[in-house]
A and B are shown apart, each in its own frame.
Chain A
Amino acid sequence: AQSVSQHNHHVILSEAASLELGCNYSYGGTVNLFWYVQYPGQHLQLLLKYFSGDPLVKGIKGFEAEFIKSKFSFNLRKPSVQWSDTAEYFCAVNARDRDDKIIFGKGTRLHILP
């Protein structure tokens, strides 16, 4: 079965620092990839998604992610974080040619210091 690994459990950065959150998945077939964000006390919201085409996808709030198929990775990046980016970030994968499940990673808690 497919799985998702997020290696950073808790990340602390200062404002204006650059961000990269790692995400690796285990599935050899065709995938859909997602990053979701959960702000404190709120529901999950879609940040960005990759289905096909350009492996560098841009999302909301200045976030982007790059799909590297050879590395089974879909890392999330932002060049300059803000205090309001403090949240939990979830990477998710759907094995497109297998089933309809979206499997989530365990999340990375991002804390931005003002």
Chain B
Amino acid sequence: DTAVSQTPKYLVTQMGNDKSIKCEQNLGHDTMYWYKQDSKKFLKIMFSYNNKELIINETVPNRFSPKSPDKAHLNLHINSLELGDSAVYFCASSLGSPAYNSPLHFGNGTRLTVT
């Protein structure tokens, strides 16, 4: 009955490969996010979708492409992986926008290691 679930938990791959991370939430939330946490634990927002519509797109390389088939799912596809992409990627969801007083619920993270 995990609220926000991500797969895989660990992902080890070589430079140049293409990989995807999946996220699903069963909370009935309208908004989903991807955050990147670097080796120094710094969390930075990448994308946000509200009801399948992209609402936040930070300055992320276009090798990163989010896809939201429905409001319960937000997947992250990464093309041509680079060493600097190694990080922990967290999916999160909120009932509405944070502007409407709705905190984030996080998944357990996907640790991506690019060799």
Contact = CB atoms under 8 A, between A and B. Distances in A.
Interface of A: 32, 34, 36, 38, 42-46, 49, 51, 88, 90, 94, 96-97, 99-104, 106-107, 109
Given A43-B106, A43-B109, A100 B99 contact: yes
Contacts of B35: 104
Given A101-B56, A107-B41, A46 B107 contact: no
B107 A43 contact: yes
Given A42-B108, A43-B108, A44-B90, A106 B41 contact: yes
B42 A96 contact: no
Contacts of B12: none
B95 interface: no
B76 interface: no
Q: Pick from A96, A101, A107 the residue with the most CB of B within 10 Å.
A: A101
A107 B45 CA distance: 15
A43 B4 CA distance: 10
Interface residues of B, number: 26
B75 interface: no
Nearest to B91: A43
A-side binding surface: helix, strand, loop or mixed? strand
A101 B31 CA distance: 11
Contacts of B27: none
Contacts of A43: 4, 90, 106-109
B43 A104 contact: yes
24 contacts: A32-B101, A36-B104, A36-B106, A43-B109, A44-B90, A45-B106, A46-B103, A49-B103, A88-B41, A90-B43, A96-B98, A97-B99, A99-B99, A100-B31, A100-B50, A100-B55, A100-B98, A101-B48, A101-B98, A102-B45, A106-B41, A106-B42, A107-B41, A109-B41
Contact of A94 (B42, B92, B98, B105): B98
A51 B96 CA distance: 14
Q: Which 5 pairs between the two chains have the least Cβ-Cβ distance?
A: A104-B43, A94-B98, A43-B106, A100-B97, A44-B106
